[in-house]
Structure 1
Amino acid sequence: MRRVVVTGCGIVSSIGIGNKTVATSLREGRSGLQFVPEMKAYGLRCNVAAPIVGFDEAIFQEDGKPRLSRAAQYGLTAVFEAIAEAGLMPHSEPLNSAAVILGSGGGGQSCLPETALRSDANPIDEPGIYELRRQMNETAAVAVAQRLGAEGRVSSNSAACATGLYNIGFGYELVAAGLHDCCICGGVEEQSWQRVGVSADNSLGMPTTFNETPKAACRPFDRDRQGFIISEGSAAVVLESYDAAMARGAPIYAEIVGYAAANDGHDLYVANGDAMRRVVLSALSDAAKLGVANIDYINAHATGTPIGDAIEAGVIREIFGTGPAVSSCKGVTGHSQGAVGAQEVVYTVLMLRNEFLAATANLEHPSDDCGGIDHVRTRRDVRIDTALTMNNGLGGTNAAMILRAL
C-alpha cells in the first residue's frame, strides 16, 4: 500500500467560498445560518437554513442559460481551487490520467420542477439533453472530468450524509492501491430544503423554536438541541501518492493515515453506534501502522439531533475517554448532506494548516448524555498533528478518516 497525501483543497460552503474565507470564518465562529422567508411561506415549522451566499452562477452559463446543475457548478468551483493549490493545470499530467470521484446525495434534482413544467408545456422540444445532464447523480463528476480532461475512473458514490467522506475514502483507496497516482474527489449538494427539508420537518428532525434567532438553531451536543439545519455546497481535495507528489515538488498539506467505512445494518433511521465504533477502530489500526499512536482532535459529525449526538459522544467516550479535543462545525455551517463529509475534511485540513481548533457553536449547556469528552467550547489556538473526522448517514452508513500534518 502506498502513502497518500492531500496536495490541494477547495470549498464552497455557507460560511464562505474558498479556503481563506472559510478558514477565517471557522476561526472567528462566523455563522452561515439564517432565516429563510420561503421556508415559512412553504409552511415549514423550521424556517432556518444555511444557504450559499455570493455564488456567481453567471460564469457557468452557456448561451445565457445554466447548462450545468448547481451541484456541478459548486463542484467545479471547489475542484478548480483545489487543483490550483496543488499546482496542476487542466488537460495536463497528472490530471489527464486522474480519477474523478465526486459524490452527491441528490444530484441536480433542484431543476426537476422546472423540467416538469417545460415537459408539460412542450413535451417534444423540452426538456433537452442539458436537463438530463443536470439531473444525473454524477452531474458534478462528469462535468469536472470533462473540464479537466481526466480520463481515469469517474464515479459518484452516494451514501447519505457520509457521501463526501465515502468518496474521498474511495479516492484514497485507489491511490493507496496503486490504481491511480492522482484522484480528484469530494462531495456536492444543491439546496434541498424543498425535498429533504419537508420530510425532516414533518418528522420534527429540524429545530422549530429558533426562527427568530436563526444563528442559535443548530446546537451540537447541547442540552437544548432540536435537530439539524439544512445547508448545501461542495468540497474537493487532490489526492496523490506521496512519491508522486514529492517527485513533482507538490505542496503537501496533510497525509491520510487511516480510513474505514461500514454499515451498521441496524435500522434505516436510528444508528446503534456499532458501525461507528468499528470504522473508528479500523482507521486507528491503519494509522498505527504508520506510527500514529494518538489523536489530537476529532471533528465530529454531530448534527444537533437528540439521538445522534448522544450515540456519537458515547462512542468517542468509550474509545478515547477525555483524550482528544472534540468539536462539530455544524453549529455555524449547517448540514450539507452529500457534501458535508468532504467539507469537514477540508475544515480539518484548514485547522491543521492554520493551527487552531474551531469551537462547537451554541454549546451553552453540554448535555449529560454527551458528557465525558473534551468539548471545544471556545476556539483554541494550538498546533495539532493528527485529527479524526467522522460521518454517518441514514441507512447506517458510517465512515472515519485520520489525517496527519506533514
Structure 2
Amino acid sequence: MNNAPAAITGIGLITPAGLGRTVNWTAVCAGRPTARPMEELKDAPVDFASMVPATFDANRLAGHRISRSYDRSTQFALVAAHAALNDAQLTANARANARVGVVIGTAFGGAQTYDDNHARLLAGGPPAVTARFLPKGLVNMVSGVLSIELGATGPNMVVSTACASGATAIGLGLGLLRSDACDVVVCGGTDAAVTPLHVAGFHKLRALSRARKHPPEHASRPFDVDHDGFVIAEGAAIIVLEKEKDAATRGVRPHAHLAGYGATADAHHVTAPHPQGVGAKAAIRLACQDAGIIADDVGHVNAHATSTPTGDAVEADVLADVTPNAAVTSTKGVTGHALGAAGAIEAAYTALALRSQTVPPVANLDQPCTNAHALDLVTHHARRMRFDVALSNSFGFGGHNAVLALTK
C-alpha cells in the first residue's frame, strides 16, 4: 500500500482575514477578529458575520469577466486556485503535460444563486428565473468550472461532508496521488452562504452566537467560557498537492507535506457530536496511523472548535485524551466559521504553521471553558516553537469527521 506523503506546493486563500496567503497568515498570527454587522442581515435573527473583504474583485483577480457566470462560492474557489497554482509555479504549459485532478469540498454550493432565483420566482414567476440559474447553482459546478478554467482533465469531483467538506476533499486528493491517478491535485473547499435564509436556519438550530456578552467582533470565542455559538463566515482555500519527487524535480520547496488522512462517522446524531467523541478520536488515530506517526508526536493541532459550547467541550476532551502534548489553536476566532471551506482554510494555516514554526493564537480566548483547562492553548500572541507534526481537525453535521496529518 502506498502511504507516501504529498508535497503541498501551492496555497491560495480568500477569507475574511484577507486575500492571499501572506495577508491571511499575518492576520491569524496577529489574532485579528473579522466579524462585523452586515446591512444585508439587518432583518435576520443574527445581523453579523465574517465576510471576505469588499476589495475582492473576481473579474480583476481571475483576469477576465466571471462574476455574471459563476456563483460567489465558485468565484472564491477559482481565484484561490489561480493563486495556489501561481504559488506552486505550475504554469498552464506545465499543467498541460500533467494529469491534473480537481477535488473541491462545499457544504452549500451555489447558495446565493439559489436564494436569488427563488426571490425572482416569487416576484415574477417562472420567466424571472435566469438562464444561468442551474449552471451557476449546481453543487458540482464548483469543481466543474475549475477544470474548465484551468484545463484540468483528470478526475473531477465535489464532496459534501458539511463543515468537514474542505478537509475531506484534501484527503481524497491525497488518495488520488497515492493511487497514481494524478500527477497534481488541486483541492480544497469553498462556501458563500451568508444569506438571511442560511442565518435563519442556523439560528433555529441554536448554533449561532448572539453576541450576548461581547460585541460581534469578539463573538467567535473558541474554547472560551463565554462561547455561545459560531459566527457564520464565507471564503475558500485551495492547495496544490504533488508527488514529492515531482516537486523536487521542479526545484519547488513545499510549504509542508500532507502525510495522513483519517475519516470516520459518529453514527450518532444529525447535528450533535458524539458526547464521548468516539468518531473524532478514531479519525485522529487513523490520520496518525496513515502518516506513520503516533499521537504523542503531534506538536500542534488546529482544532475544529467553532465556539459552540457542546462542540468545543467534546473536542477539548478528545484532544486532552489523544494528543496531550500538542499546542492547540482554533483560527475560527479570527475567520469565523466558513462552513464547507473551513477545513481547507485551516489545513492551509496548519501547513503555514509548520513552515514558519509558529502557532497562531486563539483570538478572543480570555478564560478557557472547563473542558479546555487541560489543553495547551495558544492565547493572546502567536507562539514560536519547534515541531514536526501537526493535525487539522474538521467535524460536520451528520457526524462527519475528517483529520489531516501534516509534517514538515
TM range (shorter): over 0.9
Alignment correspondent of 1:368: 370
Q: Is the 8 A contact 1:235 1:342 kept in 2?
A: yes
Equivalent position to 2:320, from 313, 317, 320: 317
Aligned: 1:388 with 2:391:
yes
Query: Structure 2 matches for 1:223-234, cutoff 5 A?
Result: 223-234=225-236
CA contact 2:295–2:322 (8 Å) conserved in 1: no
Residue 308 (1) aligns with residue 311 (2): yes
Match of 1:237 in 2: 239
| 1:254 equivalenced with 2:256 (yes/no) | yes
Counterpart Cα distance in 2 of 1:329 and 1:370: 16
2:285 is matched with which residue? 281
User: What is the deviation of 1:35?
Assistant: 1.7
Counterpart Cα distance in 2 of 1:221 and 1:324:
15
Match of 1:115 in 2: 117
Match of residue 222 from structure 1: 224
**Retained in 2: the 8 A contact 1:220–1:304?**
yes
On the 8 A contact 1:48/1:211 being kept in 2, the answer is: no
**What does residue 263 of structure 1 align with?**
265
Q: Cα offset for 1:212?
A: 6.8
Amino acid at match of 1:104: T
* CA distance 1:314–1:177, shift in 2 (3 Å): same
209 and 3 in structure 1: CA distance in 2 versus 1, 3 angstrom threshold? closer
Relative to structure 2, which stretch is displaced further, 54-63 or 228-237? 54-63
What SS class does the counterpart of residue 42 from structure 1 fall into? coil
Find the aligned partners of 1:267 and 1:280 in 2 and give their Cα distance. 20
Over the matched positions of the two proteins, sequence identity in percent amounts to 30
Distance 1:150 1:64 in 2: 18
Residue 56 of structure 1 corresponds to which residue in structure 2?
Answer: 57
Q: How far, CA to CA, are the matches of 1:393 and 1:381 in structure 2?
A: 30
Matches of 1:394 and 1:275, distance apart in 2: 13
Unmatched 5+ residue regions in structure 1? none
| Aligned mates of 1:184, 1:359 — CA distance in 2 | 28
Partner Cα separation in structure 2 for residue 143 and residue 316 of structure 1: 38
Q: 1:82 — aligned with what?
A: 84
Note the C-alpha offset of 1:141: 0.8
Q: How has the CA–CA distance of structure 1 residues 154 and 91 changed in structure 2, closer, same or farther, with 3 Å as cutoff?
A: farther
Following superposition, the deviation at residue 382 of structure 1 comes to: 2.6
Task: Determine the structure 1 residue equivalent to 2:169.
Answer: 167
- Deviating beyond 4 angstroms after TM superposition, the runs of 4 or more aligned structure 1 residues are 60-65, 117-120
Note if contact 2:162-2:400 (Cα within 8 Å) is conserved in structure 1. yes
Residue 124 of structure 1 deviates from its aligned partner by 5.2
Tell me what 2:400 maps to: 397
Deviation at 1:91, TM superposition (A): 5.3
1:95 is displaced (CA, Å) by: 6.7
Describe the superposition over 1:136-169 as per-residue Cα deviations: whole angstroms up to 9, x where unpaired. Answer: 1122211111111110011000000000000000
CA RMSD of aligned residues (A): 2.1
Change (3 A) 1:394 1:292: closer
Equivalent residues of 1:172, 1:239 under 8 A apart: yes
Identify the match of residue 298 of structure 1 among 301, 308, 327: 301
Decide whether the 8 Å contact of 1:102 with 1:185 is kept in 2.
yes
Q: SS of the residue aligned with 1:140?
A: helix
Q: Distance in 1 between matches of 2:19 and 2:366?
A: 28
For the residue of structure 2 that corresponds to 1:93, the secondary structure is helix
Change (3 A) 1:363 1:125: closer
C-alpha distance 260-108 of structure 1, shift in aligned 2 (>3 A): same
TM-score of the aligned structures, taking structure 1 as reference length: 0.93
| Count of paired positions | 400
Give the superposition deviation at 1:131: 2.2
| One-letter amino acid of the counterpart of residue 47, structure 2 | N
Distance 1:293 1:211 in 2: 37
